Structure 1
Amino acid sequence: MEEYLIVDGYNIIGAWPQLQKLKDTELEEARDKLIHMLAEYQAFSGMKVYLVFDAYRVPGLGKKYVQSKLRILYTKEKETADELIESLVTKLVGRRKQIYVATSDMMEQHVIFGKGALRLPSGELLTKIEQSRREMRAKIRQEPASKRNSFDSNLKNDVKDALEKWRRGK
């Protein structure tokens, strides 16, 4: 089953303490930090993540781009993130697909639930991201050095001996 996560960017920034502190002084840095966290989470979880930011106060056609394999979308002029999220859910919903929407907006949670997506409150997403980071660190620590792909572990002893003699000039 394919899993998708659609994230209401500014809603999450306003809900997570470490990003909320940044938002008032360094909004771009808060966005970058969220992008980095979600890209890491996407790589570990295998979910396809869409990050949606409001741009309804900014004139333009909306923007879509990929950064670190994370799909980032800015809304069009006079379009809200909620509207874009709802249209994404409608487009993605289907058989063998599970769609989650991360937002703390209760009205939006009810609307997307009615369209077939599951809601993921911002606090729960933060917990999932922190858990995946812990699991990643534990996995890295557990991997023994012998399992690492080193060049000399793949060589036969006679080849190792010949290379060692050559290195020493014999």
Structure 2
Amino acid sequence: MREMRDVLLVDGYNMIGGWPELAALSRIGLQEARDRLLERLADYQAFSGIRTIAIFDAYRVPGLGKSFAQNQLEVHFTKEKETADECIERLVRELSHKRRQIYVATSDMVEQHVIFGQGALRISARELLTQVEKSEKEVQIKIAERIDKSSRNRIDDKLSPEVRRMFEKWRRE
């Protein structure tokens, strides 16, 4: 049985160019920027539950065309003479199903029109960054709440106000 959850296809180099942190990191080294993007996307996938696939253009790299999983995140490097846009379009066709919504994260206007024509929805680099940052903040809030609850695991927190007043009255007598 095919998995029916929604899919997010991410044009990796487009995000690296569109996210300020990654653009700055790419000037130091492209591998570092890719790793940081994949780390953030893996966290986003874990939090949102949406299946996420990152696609990187290897158009001029002979014989590449690799696909692998990293931190539960699918990563595709395009085949020789295949652009990331072509790979994304192919994946949209392959993954399309009436019970599944496909989102494509790219700021490439031409690509946005093509995938929209195939029934996928587009998300710009800035919109995806906003969603990722929002999910990261929500994760931090949930972690803080857990830490707060575990550090204050007192019986007093579990008592009703009436019982608390009764105990306080006994204590003062």
Change (3 A) 1:91 1:26: same
Q: Which segment is superposed worse, 15-24 or 119-128?
A: 15-24
Deviations for 1:39-60, whole angstroms, at most 9, x for unmatched residues? 0000000000000000011000
- State the distance in 2 between where 1:97 and 1:23 align: 33
Q: Shift in Å at residue 145 of structure 1?
A: 1.1
Unmatched 5+ stretches in structure 2: 154-173
Q: 1:113-152, aligned counterparts within 5 Å?
A: 113-143=116-146, 144-145=149-150
- State the distance in 1 between where 2:152 and 2:54 align: 36
- State the distance in 1 between where 2:152 and 2:131 align: 28
Q: Shift in Å at residue 25 of structure 1?
A: 2.5
Q: 1:84-163, aligned counterparts within 5 Å?
A: 84-143=87-146, 144-145=149-150
Look up the match of 1:72.
Answer: 75
Letter in 2 for 1:33: R
List 4+ stretches of structure 1 deviating above 4 A.
none
TM-score (norm 1): 0.84
Q: Shift in Å at residue 24 of structure 1?
A: 2.4
Q: Shift in Å at residue 61 of structure 1?
A: 4.2
Letter in 2 for 1:122: A
Look up the match of 2:26.
Answer: 23
Q: What is the Cα-based RMSD across aligned positions, in Å?
A: 1.5
Letter in 1 for 2:13: Y
Deviations for 1:90-131, whole angstroms, at most 9, x for unmatched residues? 011111101100000000000000001000000000000000
CA contact (8 A) 2:58 2:64 kept: no
- State the distance in 2 between where 1:102 and 1:4 align: 11
